[in-house]
Structure 1
Amino acid sequence: MNLFRSTAAVLALTTGLLALPAQAEVVQQNTSGDPLYTAEAPKAFSMVGDLIIARPLLIGATIIGAGLFVVSLPFSAAGGNIGEAGKALVVEPGKEAFVRCLGCTMSGYNRD
């Protein structure tokens, strides 16, 4: 692919991703009164966008974060914050990628 097409594709994708929050709707809550069913009930377009855009990016962030964690491990060990570095670089993106329900905005797994 030549440089012009690559640049145009990146600009089009970036513009489309930046326009997504402007098109987002408020997620409706189930008001049945039963605590079991009061979790988020995302719409289909939220699920599709999450599946196609957010999950691959979050999985990539988890993989890149794991690599960065390994690279920063000697410095984290010297500073005494291996746990914080691991949580910020690997656990948090992984939790959002693999534990959060499809289309939801908050993770359903709250244990640290």
Structure 2
Amino acid sequence: MRPFRILAATLAVFFGLQMTPAMAQVEAAGSGDPVYQIQNPPAYAMMGDLLIARPLLIVATVIGAGLFVIASPFAAAGGNLGATGKALVVDPGKAAFVRCLGCTTSGYGKHD
């Protein structure tokens, strides 16, 4: 394939997957049970999560860890070392590794 076609296909998939949260809200509103949609996500949500969201969240966790090492002396001086670590490392890591595939909340069947 030519680079333009690859770029066009990538953008089509990316923007198509951007609609999945809106579609999930419509489905949850129609079923009357939003917990059912969270615990049993559709296949397209799982594929988008596996191919796009998880790699980006893992990269965000690694970059956040590096930024945390750089920012930790300043955060410690300001007294918010725990909040900085949570925002830069724990939150992206929790979303990448604890959240079920295709789910919108982190945790094992619990709501944060």
TM-score surpassing 0.5?
yes
**Residue in structure 2 matched with residue 92 of structure 1 by the alignment:** 91
Structure 1 position 78 matched with structure 2 position 74: no
Deviation at 1:40, TM superposition (A): 1.8
Structure with a larger share of its residues in helix: 2
Summarize the alignment of residues 23-102 of structure 1 with structure 2, pairs less than 5 Å apart: 24=21, 25-26=23-24, 40-102=39-101
Runs of 4+ with >6 A deviation = none
Root mean square deviation of aligned Cα: 3.2
Comparing 17-26 with 56-65, which one deviates more in the overlay?
17-26
**What runs of 5+ residues in structure 2 fail to find an aligned partner?**
none
Cα offset, 1:107, TM superposition: 1.0
SS in 1 for 2:39: coil
* SS of structure 1 residue aligned to 2:104: coil
Deviation at 1:55, TM superposition (A): 0.3
| Percentage of pairs with the same residue | 54
User: 3-state SS of the aligned residue for 2:58?
Assistant: helix
Q: Check 1:72–1:47 CA distance in 2 against 1; reply closer, same or farther (3 A cut).
A: same
Residue 51 of structure 2 aligns with an amino acid whose one-letter code is I
* Distance in 1 between residues matched to 2:100 and 2:43, nearest whole Å: 13
Segments of 5+ residues of structure 1 without an aligned counterpart are none
- 2: CA distance, partners of 1:57 / 1:84: 22
- Relative to structure 1, is the Cα distance of residues 68 and 104 closer, same or farther in structure 2, using a 3 angstrom cutoff? same
Give 1:21 deviation, angstroms.
Answer: 2.5
Report the number of matched residues: 102
Residues 45 and 92 from structure 1, CA distance in 2 versus in 1: closer, same or farther, beyond 3 angstroms?
Answer: same
Taking the aligned partners of 2:62 and 2:105, their CA distance within structure 1 comes to: 21
TM-score (norm 1): 0.72
